[in-house]
Amino acid sequence: MAEQESLEFGKADFVLLDAVTMPEFMGNLRLRFEKGRIYTFIGEVVVSMNPYKNLNIYGRDVIEQYKGRELYERPPHLFAIADAAYKAMKRRSKDTCIVISGESGAGKTEASKYIMQYIAAITNPGQRAEVERVKNILLKSNCVLEAFGNAKTNRNDNSSRFGKYMDINFDFKGDPIGGHINNYLLEKSRVIVQQPGERSFHSFYQLLQGGSDQMLRSLHLQKDASAYSYISPGAQLKGSINDGAEFKAVADAMKVIGFKQEEIQTVYKIVAAILHLGNLKFSVDGDTPLIENSKAVSIIADLLSTKSEMVEKALLFRTVATGRDVIDKQHTEQEATYGRDAFAKAIYERLFCWIVTHINDVIEVKNYDTTVHGKNTVIGVLDIYGFEIFDNNSFEQFCINYCNEKLQQLFIQLVLKQEQEEYQREGIPWKHIDYFNNQVIVDLVEQQHKGIIAILDDACMNVGKVTDEMFLEALNSKLGKHAHFSSRKLCATDKTLEFDRDFRIKHYAGDVIYSVSGFIDKNKDTLFQDFKRLMYNSSNPVLKMMWPEGKLSITEVTKRPLTAATLFKNSMIALVDNLASKEPYYVRCIKPNDKKSPQLFDEERCRHQVEYLGLLENVRVRRAGFAYRQTYQKFLHRYKMISEFTWPNHDLPSDKDAVKKLIECHGFQHDVAYGKTKIFIRTPRTLFTLEELHAKMLVRIVLFLQKVWRGTLARLRYKRTRAALTILRHYRRYKVKSYIHEVAQRFRNVRSMKDYGKHVPWPTPPKVLHRFEEALQAIYHRWRAGELIRSVPPKDLPQLRAKVAAMEVLKGHRADLGLQRAWEGDYITLRPDHPQSTGAFLPVATELKRKDKYMNVLFSCHVRKVNRFSKVEDRAIFITDRHLYKMDPMKQYKVMKTIPLYNLVGLSVSNGKDQLVVFHTKDNKDLIVCLFSKEPSNDNRIGELVGVLASHFKRAALCCAVLCCAVLCCAVPPGGDSKNGDGGRGARSRRGALNAATSVCSANPPHCLQLRRADGGSESSSGDIAPNHSQKPISQKHPELMLVVSSVLRDGKAEVALLPSREAAQVEASMGLKHRPPSPQHSAAPLLECLLSPLSQSLCTEVPFLGCLSRGAV
């Protein structure tokens, strides 16, 4: 029951009335209407009052208030009943339907739109694109169907002139996945004629008011609706609908639904063709029928994509088959007018049905497999025309009111009759409640052979001329004694009925007088075959599709089609059966007044509606009855988990006993009754409490099932992983064995091979053995090296070790290490430059051995030394396992300097082809020499020197750093040295030794130096230094010389030499400097002395610094 609303608004549920009487009911209804509360419950039925104004109670915030809530938790609302139907569908996987009933103008169409809006808003939380598409189409379809199926009537500005039942299909998650629309009995007679104060269908006025000027010109239309006979009566009527704005909304909706532009154009061409048809006027010239305004025929033919002569022939003649002969029969003026009107109605009806079919094709559920996607459930929404009583009621009102009788009968069956019968059948104590059963009226209309529809069909099938008066006479003779039927002939004193025209039916909603005029023609729904063939032969594919029967030849005999009344009766029976198969929810709409006033409450008008809707009886049954009933088996199936006595299975004698135990456990025994096969629960609160307990326990069960299932999955994954690892382990073992076996096979005979298996390719190992392969190859290479070393004579092993040490240190730094020749080591003794030198050297070497007690001679060689005065002097170096000696070969190899090997900390060489070498000592007194030899003159002994020393230091476990640096530049003094006695050849030899370049040999990074020029300026250098042309270049002061720096940075000392200008030119060119030719008047002389400190010593010079190239600082 509804709660959370103050009593100042009245009772939110009519079941809560103090006394169930009509005055009490009407008083509560009036109070709520005047307070703006237009919705009231009767249990699970919503009573809706049309407020005739816009209310702010349908927004997103209101939707959220009702989403997932039970009926009694929120005030009465359409959203509450929509959510109840949705929850029932989703929880119990049961099809539901919402039946909206009430008379015309009571607000049924708006109610259906709000229900659709709510369902669309609460579904598809995952924003799936396909679901959103279906929702948009379902919502937009209302706009299109209202334009072509609704019209302004005296009671309603937007009255549905057709019946609509929409099924919305949902997947197992509760998201809409499609739908289907059924339409019933479009009031097509409204196309050609309307009652005073009413309009034709909205689509005509929307086209004229909303269509662009260009569009109207293409359709040969003008904006003035009064220019067209079919719609001129309602041209000046004003309503609440903006036709211009609605036209744009409909066009946009059709695009969203999926109508192509050509199809939309065809739709409005058909609407325009109907307007032009209404303006056709016929006359007769003698016996020949004529069309007065023949220009309109050409326009119609153009709009319908056919030929004008064919249109004219179909309007003026009728093709008749007599045996084998086919003749064209001329129409009279009356027949031509009838044929035109029938054609206009038929075209519009076919257009409307085609639009509905097109929408269904788009939203139809496709490729849905219940085994894959789960059960497909449905919510049906019925929005159908309400009960109508007009001043002139014809065939359409008869069918509409019959439809409402069927729906009322369904309501009585499900809510009143079946419920009371079920209580009696189940043995539940019950006091019978009287109600009006309208089955007798339904039988009066639809009963076989005796009902009004059967009599009407008989009249239509009679041979010869049958009139409406003859039909009325048949009704009088067959139904004269029926309590709910009367006519003037049967009640001669009732002057409200006309002789030979009217009959009265006492409907549940009131007495209605029907005029039989047009009943026969409307039931026959006659349309000449000529029009069907005309449309079938149209070049427009849409029109051709609408008229499939047009392909039949005139001579073909077809079965007599069912009449309009029989078709409508069959569709109503099918509709009621469909609704009865679902769980129904009701919205009962009430119209507060006939003046569309938001303040006026017409009590008599409302009382009449409450009476014929059976609302008071509904309240009585609801108060006396039970809100919910279910079989014991299904009840247990849903709620057994909330009791320990029934979960997972009970051991009681029967399901009934188990249900009793479950109910008693939770203290609901005073609110239930037990039938023979079902349990009955009186109040919704008990049911909702059971649902809450079910939801809470369901979470625990789901978690338990998830735990068990996840455990099962984990065990399966573990078993699969273990199996995979076992397979992988065995496979790896197989691959390893295969690899080792392959290696063993390939290297089986390596001992007997000449190269010990060097040429044998290694097999590709598995990834897991990459490191093993590296270790295996290292072992193999060590073994092979050992085998090779064993084959080397012992006397050659020291030389081999030295070459290996040289290669380890200098490989990749110097191109020629001298590895291809034999390293002799003691070159002064074994290969002297002068034979007499050997005799002078041997005594000195012997004396040193006696004195210093060295064991082995490591290296000896003649060298040239460049001192800091730019002088080149011949010297010799003699290296033993204890000392490094610098000797003067010109003085019988006198020892000039002795350096213990433990004082030697490093060795620097360049990466060029020169043989310059720097010996670094602990006391920073470095020795800078250039190795040379005369026999052969091109021997490169740097590699041998480095290798011998590195091998010795390694074997002695001492440390000696070897640095191979980049070239700075070269330095050679001009001419020969007077002391060496070899003249120009000595100079050339010295140049060959130093021409490649000296190196930066300091073990420390280069320092940033300040270059001070003679003019007092300075340049800071931390990289390459560009030439300075601010002073006179050296070529002008000493043209025969060129300054090139040969610096060895060690403890701030450097040596500088000069180069002859012809060779300096080559050096300058290599450095990108411009060389100038020398003057002959200048003499050669040392020009510069450099003193470099590690941090702040400066370079002083009288000569501009020309430049040098290096990787670091200069």
Q: How far apart are the C-alpha atoms of 136 and 123, rounded to whole Å?
A: 12
Amino acid at 377: T
Within a 10 A sphere around the Cβ of 754, how many other Cβ atoms?
7
Q: Which of the residues 70, 246, 388, 1055 is marked catalytic?
A: 388
Reading phi first (left if > 0) and then psi (alpha if -120 to 50, else beta), residue 664 is in alpha
Q: Which of the residues 28, 40, 48, 109 is marked catalytic?
A: 109
Amino acid at 989: S
Cis-peptide into 548, omega within 30 deg: no
* 959 within 8 A of 953, measured Cβ to Cβ: yes
Structure tokens at 221: 């239309």
Q: Which of the residues 50, 96, 156, 266 is marked catalytic?
A: 156
Amino acid at 882: R
Burial of 891 (0-12, 13-18, 19+ CB in 10 A): exposed
Backbone angles phi, psi at 279, to 5 degrees: -90, -5
* 948 within 8 A of 878, measured Cβ to Cβ: no
CA nearest to 814, candidates 952, 951, 909, 907: 909
Q: Which of the residues 28, 104, 523, 1021 is marked catalytic?
A: 104
Alpha helices, DSSP H, located in 764-867? 770-790, 797-810, 827-830, 835-852
Structure tokens at 789: 């070393």
Angle at CA of residue 940, ends 934 and 942, nearest 5°: 120
Q: Which of the residues 28, 123, 141, 159 is marked catalytic?
A: 159
Cα distances from 270 to residues 213, 254, 343, 361, 1003, in angstroms, run: 18, 16, 12, 21, 101
Q: Which of the residues 48, 96, 160, 999 is marked catalytic?
A: 160
- How far out from the chain centre does Cα 385 lie? 42
* 1 within 8 A of 16, measured Cβ to Cβ: yes
Q: How far apart are the C-alpha atoms of 80 and 61, rounded to whole Å?
A: 14
List of residues 6+ apart from 592 with CB closer than 8 A:
33, 49, 50, 52, 600, 601, 602, 605, 606
* 110 within 8 A of 81, measured Cβ to Cβ: no
105 is catalytic: yes
Q: What angle, 0 to 180 degrees and rounded to 10, lies between the N-to-C axes of helices 615-624 and 603-613?
A: 50
Q: Which of the residues 10, 43, 102, 105 is marked catalytic?
A: 105
Q: Helix or strand or coil: residue 1031?
A: coil
109 is catalytic: yes
Q: Which of the residues 102, 149, 178, 386 is marked catalytic?
A: 386
Cis-peptide into 765, omega within 30 deg: no
Q: How far apart are the C-alpha atoms of 741 and 726, rounded to whole Å?
A: 22
- How far out from the chain centre does Cα 491 lie? 73
197 is catalytic: no
Q: Helix or strand or coil: residue 439?
A: helix
Structure tokens at 553: 């030849």
The single-letter DSSP state of residue 900 is: E
* 396 within 8 A of 187, measured Cβ to Cβ: yes
Half-sphere exposure of 263 (CA within 13 A, CB side): 15
CA nearest to 95, candidates 377, 382, 381: 377
Burial of 731 (0-12, 13-18, 19+ CB in 10 A): exposed
* 294 within 8 A of 312, measured Cβ to Cβ: yes
- Rg (the chain; Cα; Å): 58
The helix (H) or strand (E) run that includes residue 27 is helix 22-34
Half-sphere exposure of 575 (CA within 13 A, CB side): 31
Q: Helix or strand or coil: residue 683?
A: coil
Backbone angles phi, psi at 1112, to 5 degrees: -120, -145
List of residues 6+ apart from 747 with CB closer than 8 A:
757, 760, 780
388 is catalytic: yes
160 is catalytic: yes
Catalytic residues: 104-105, 109, 156, 159-160, 386, 388
